[in-house]
Amino acid sequence: MRKLIIAVGGTLILAAPLAQADIVGFGASANYWDSDLSGKAGSNGDTVDIENDLNLDSDSNTNLTAYVEHPVPLLPNVRLDYTKVDLSGRGQLGVLGYDGVNGDVRSELDLEQLDLTLYYEVLDNWVNLDLGLTARRLDAELLVQETTGTLDVSETSVDAVIPMGYAAARFDLPFTGVSVGAEGNFISFDGDLLHDINAYGQFEFALLRVRAGYRQMSIDYEDGDDSLDIEIDGPFASVGVTF
């Protein structure tokens, strides 16, 4: 059985004084993430550098967030986050190859995440602090196919639901609509390590919220004979509404 070491646990949440919203609030946003990829993948004892050997570059990414906050005591607020990153490239593998594939190859990496976060507002004034727990559905698949010869194909996949700690802090500059903050998820267990953090500056005007910052996501995870040890990071910009 794997031992869980969660960065933000339920004990910390229950021990802290809780701040509740006076009315039901809702927010949603979409962002563009100009991400770069580095790291490696493994399958059946073989490893490949997915940046240098496969030359993977980002084709597209989708990032959506929605949340609901309410005034009901002890009942957590709810947040949903969706991230999808698609990458492709052409590279060349040596004689030893990767999982039975060698020579000239074309590759695709599809990574999809869906987060359900339950959290509490510990502080809610010009200093804001949220703490909670996240259930992350991680689904990643790397396809590597020869473009000449036997056209062999290798498939490396990771599919799991992972519990993670969640924390978000924001500092508001009173009467300006300007704020800075950071938020993220983290977990380490049985040699696997995942974190997803971002720092940002934000401006709010009426119902509109504009945010820009930097996001770093790291996945070091084994699923049977397959593994991913990758980092995706880069600047992002988002536009959202709050009610």
- The distance in angstroms from the start CA to the end CA of the chain is 43
Q: Is the pLDDT of residue 11 over 70?
A: no
17 three-class SS: coil
The full set of domain ranges for the chain reads: 5-242
Which residues make Cβ contacts (< 8 Å) with residue 226, sequence separation at least 6?
41, 42, 43, 156, 157, 158
Tens of pLDDT, residue by residue over 12-40, are 333 344 555 567 889 999 999 999 999 99
| C-alpha of 49 from chain center | 21
**Least confident stretch, 21-35, 129-143, 172-186:** 21-35
Q: What is the pLDDT of residue 2?
A: 34
The average pLDDT across 207-236 equals 95
Average pLDDT, the chain: 89
Which residues make Cβ contacts (< 8 Å) with residue 73, sequence separation at least 6?
18, 20
**Least confident stretch, 49-58, 131-140, 193-202:** 49-58
Q: How many CA atoms does the CB half-sphere of 228 hold within 13 Å? A: 26
Rounded Cα distance between 222 and 200, Å, is 31
Q: What is the pLDDT of residue 22?
A: 63
Q: Is the pLDDT of residue 4 over 50?
A: no
Q: What is the pLDDT of residue 19?
A: 54
The average pLDDT across 97-126 equals 94
Provide the whole-model pTM. 0.87
Domain 5-242 class, CATH top level: mainly beta
